[in-house]
Amino acid sequence: MSNQPILFKNARLIDPASDREERGGVLVRDGVIQAVGPQVSEAADAQVIDCAGQVLAPGLIDMRAFIGEPGGPYRETLKSAGEAAAAGGVTTVVSMPDTNPVLDDPAVIDFIVRRARDTSIVNICPAAALTKGLEGQEMAEIGRLKEAGAIAFTDGARSVTNAQVMRRALTYARDFDALIVHHVEDPDLVGQGVMNEGEFASRLGLPGIPREAETVMLERDVRLVRLTGGRYHAAMISCADSAEIVRAAKGKGLPVTCGVSINHLALNENDIGDYRTFMKLSPPLRHEDDRQAMIEALADGTIDVIVSDHNPQDVETKRLPFAEAADGAVGLETLLSAALRLVHEGRISLPRLLRALSRRPAEILGLPGGRLSVGAPADLIVFDPDAPYVLDKRHLRSLSKNSPFDEARLEGQVSTTMVAGRVVFRRDTM
């Protein structure tokens, strides 16, 4: 960390924690925000960054990213994931435990913490496995894993189908004030399905996945939360009925939160088009009615956070017939640009969007970020919300290029990213 203070001036300041929006500057010293607001003046010893009227906001916090290290560095490493995140304005990434070996041992969690600290330019916080080997049978040692640095507990892309195991996990996690993050998709109801069940799947001749694969699991989990009192976060919901379940749970005061992937806010099943495997996701892209319901649930606060669901896959696993291709899409670098579509369409305000991308994840995870106030960590981004560009996957920093937004017209680019008071990314055009 440089000891020289940095002054951001001439910025459009947006604080999603207080909904404050004003013109002004931010002075950063020793890794934290020392002053913020219209009255901030230049310090004699400060390096000055002129934001030229662009938005300055807290860095994004992504609660769901799959990283190939350890075990699959050809897909993504902690270093490459960090570079992609910084270019997209993500200053904190929660990595999933679906690695080889699985993150179900305190020594492996410790390895990830140290390795990320040494190689990544952004914060990477590991989520530990909820069950040993992600097998859904034997609960992992939540207390020891949390002590080693695990920020949450999840079986990543897998669901815990055994209700008794989930009940015990919620009960045990409650005693440690640990957060359980669950992928809500019943594998038996998914069966051989590869896309959303409905007319479009029939026309493509592909087996469908019913919405009930999600809602049945989510409904069960909410009942178990009511039984145990454990803190629970549905990793991603994708359909209108799921939003109603979460809305009802919150209405009863249960400790339930949820996320949605940027893909399910920006795309629908029709984007699969001519069997485009970059659109093969879990849960699958849904009907346009469900996409609209996700946007409305985000706007009214039912959905708490937006995640990238960053899941890099190499050519060998994607260049296959649709039914055989792997699930997943990269998303760290395009998370903000794709989300800004909602702002440009007038569906949500920019402060509300930034709250779902920074402040709410910080609150749910117990992190100090996501706010633009004195004493907050200097994890900051500067971006032009109107800067147009066409995404070329060849320019992505991720090692894998399976972006569903390849060749898409997007608006909004990050020009500067700061982590802990250090500038880790600057776009050449600024």
Q: Cα dihedral angle (414, 418, 422, 427), rounded to 10 degrees?
A: 0
Which residues on neighbouring strands pair with residue 261, listed in sequence order? Answer: 307
- For residue 102 the two structure tokens come to 């699985």
Count of alpha carbons within 13 angstroms of residue 56, beta-carbon side: 29
Look at residue 373 and give its three-state secondary structure: coil
> Between the CA of residue 127 and those of 75, 97, 108, what are the distances in Å?
19, 6, 11
CA 260, distance to chain mean position in Å, is 8
Catalytic residue among 98, 304, 309, 384: 309
Integer distance in angstroms from the first to the last C-alpha of the chain? 23
183 in a labelled binding site: yes
Positive/negative CA dihedral, 245, 287, 412, 60: positive
- Which residues are within 8 A (CB) of 15 and not within 5 positions of it... i.e. 6 or more apart? 21, 36, 57, 58, 351, 371, 372, 373
- For residue 368 the two structure tokens come to 């100090």
Length of the chain: 430
Look at residue 97 and give its three-state secondary structure: coil
- For residue 388 the two structure tokens come to 């147009």
Work out the number of other CB atoms within 10 angstroms of the CB of residue 422. 14
Annotation says 309 is catalytic: yes
Q: Which residues are catalytic?
A: 309
Annotated binding site for Zn(2+): 183, 309
